[in-house]
Amino acid sequence: MKFFLDTADLDEIKEAASWGAISGVTTNPSLYAKIGGKLSNFEEHIGKICELVDGPVSAETIKMTKDEIVEDARRLSRIAPNVVVKIPTMVEGLAATHQLLQEGIPVNMTLCFSVTQAILAARSGARYISPFVGRFDDISENGLNQLEDVVAAIQNYSFPSVNGEEVEIIAASLRSPNHVAQAALMGADIATVPFNVLKQCVQHPLTDRGLERFLEDWKKVEQA
């Protein structure tokens, strides 16, 4: 399973990239607003992210009709060759994705909450599908069960996207290392994680305790 970083924060991306940990970045309007992003700087900012990451960078459209989405997607895809256009799972989004497939523009279909949405997204030609986990948990549903169903359904078939590449599942809205571990066990292709979750994924109390003991014991060696 690959890791994408779910952020628009350049410092977080630089740090995670230096670990060799991330294969891409996902952004959305909320994440751009969170870093105080301005409309006039949006394209420039996405361009900076694209330079920092050797992999796909999702930039989301906020347009609502097929023609507007397609036009916006063309604009976003001109920012850099590694831009992937993020489009919400809705009828106009499916139609736009189908058009963009003909133009070779990769799409990450976002806000996916069901197996049927995922299959339609894949059928329309999306390069990535993003089922959300945490937001199901927010409404007292089991987000991991939903993700598992989507992964199983998509793996039953072959869904070629741009350049003949197979559709990939991005487990999104992940809030904890357990979400990430379960996504890996069920065979999600990619986990997109906020930086705090990525850091938590490295940590384990037994690693800390073991390291403490090694350092203490090494003092005995130095003193012997």
Q: H or E element: which one contains 17?
A: helix 10-18
To the nearest whole angstrom, how small is the minimum distance from the Cβ of residue 32 to ligand G3P?
A: 11
Residue 41 CB, shortest distance to ligand G3P, in Å, is 20
**Tokens (6 digits) for 16:** 């995670």
Q: Left, alpha or beta for 88 (phi > 0: left; psi -120 to 50: alpha)?
A: beta
Nearer to ligand G3P, 70 or 172 (CB): 172
CA distances to 27, 177, 201 from 94, rounded to whole Å, are: 20, 32, 34
Q: Supply the minimum distance, in Å, between the C-beta of residue 193 and ligand G3P.
A: 9
Please check whether residue 108 is in contact with residue 126, taking contact to mean a CB–CB distance below 8 angstroms: yes
* Residues counted in the chain: 224
DSSP 158-218: --B-GGGPBPEEEEBS--SHHHHHHHHHTT-SEEEE-HHHHHHHH--HHHHHHHHHHHHHH
Minimal distance, residue 134 CB to ligand G3P, in Å: 5
Separation CA 9–CA 15 (nearest Å): 10
Measured at CB, which residue is nearest to ligand G3P?
173
Residues near ligand G3P (CB under 6 A) are: 6, 26, 28, 130, 132, 134-135, 172-173, 192
Which residues carry out catalysis? 86
Instruction: Return the number of the residue (99 or 130) whose C-beta is nearest ligand G3P.
Output: 130
